A and B are shown apart, each in its own frame.
Chain A
Amino acid sequence: DQQVKQNSPSLSVQEGRISILNCDYTNSMFDYFLWYKKYPAEGPTFLISISSIKDKNEDGRFTVFLNKSAKHLSLHIVPSQPGDSAVYFCAASARTSGSRLTFGEGTQLTVNP
């Protein structure tokens, strides 16, 4: 039962353009969402998070949008840079599960120069 889904295994964009990574979830108890970036043979690096009391959180080039009614969140990267090329995981947690994170399958982002 995949409670967090990233339906696009890969995404390719041109340098300078916007990258939009999507994530859907099914568990209505999730109230905290995070995006992580992962390079090969390294652990995930925290990028940005959002609480369910918000619908948008911005940090530099990264913005996360949350649509609770649709159980959907997205990560926008603008402008995209070649160094952004990595696998991006969304993750969610529920107050009832403490700090336990449930991860999506990841999306491989490639930013072409």
Chain B
Amino acid sequence: GAVVSQHPSWVICKSGTSVKIECRSLDFQATTMFWYRQFPKQSLMLMATSNEGSKATYEQGVEKDKFLINHASLTLSTLTVTSAHPEDSSFYICSARGLAGTRNQPQHFGDGTRLSIL
């Protein structure tokens, strides 16, 4: 089945640090990637939709200058949490969808990144 790789799986860093998370589709080309955030015992909340070669679309309430998204190729999207603070600590998960025009193709998820800001 489709595989999405997310790296790193765990990050612990000091407040004020910027953290980059990578999401790669390993065996398919992902025209669209999605970034989610999950707080404990809560649902996955979509942060932004990343389309290859264009600007990301952010959900309401998500600061685009805080969460920088780059989708430079069909197999890689990155999320950079800039100047991270303790309230940014969360579980971040990416997902990828294959070819454009197939809306009902399920998204495949990475294993997530646990971000802890001290």
- How many residue-residue contacts, CB under 8 A, span A and B? 61
A103 to B109, CA, bound (A): 13
B-chain residues with CB within 8 Å of residue A44 when the two chains form the complex: 44, 93, 109
A-chain residues with CB within 8 Å of residue B32 when the two chains form the complex: 98-99
A4 to B107, CA, bound (A): 17
Task: Name B's A-contacting residues (CB within 8 A).
Answer: 4, 6, 9, 32, 34, 41-46, 49, 93-95, 97, 103-104, 106-112, 114
Interface residues on A, range: 20 to 34
B114 to chain A, nearest CB (A): 7
Given A32-B103, A32-B104, A51-B104, do A41 and B111 touch, yes or no (CB 8 Å)? yes
A55 to chain B, nearest CB (A): 16
A42 within 8 A of B: yes
A20 to chain B, nearest CB (A): 20
Whether B103 pairs with A98 at a CB distance below 8 angstroms is: yes
Known: A36-B109, A49-B104, A99-B103. 4 other contacts (CB 8 A): A43-B93, A46-B106, A98-B49, A100-B46
A74 within 8 A of B: no
Interface centre among A9, A41, A95 (most CB of B within 10 A): A41
A2 to chain B, nearest CB (A): 8
A-chain residues with CB within 8 Å of residue B108 when the two chains form the complex: 46
A-chain residues with CB within 8 Å of residue B6 when the two chains form the complex: 43
Whether B44 pairs with A99 at a CB distance below 8 angstroms is: no
Interface residues of A in 54-113 (CB under 8 A from B): 89, 93, 95, 98-106
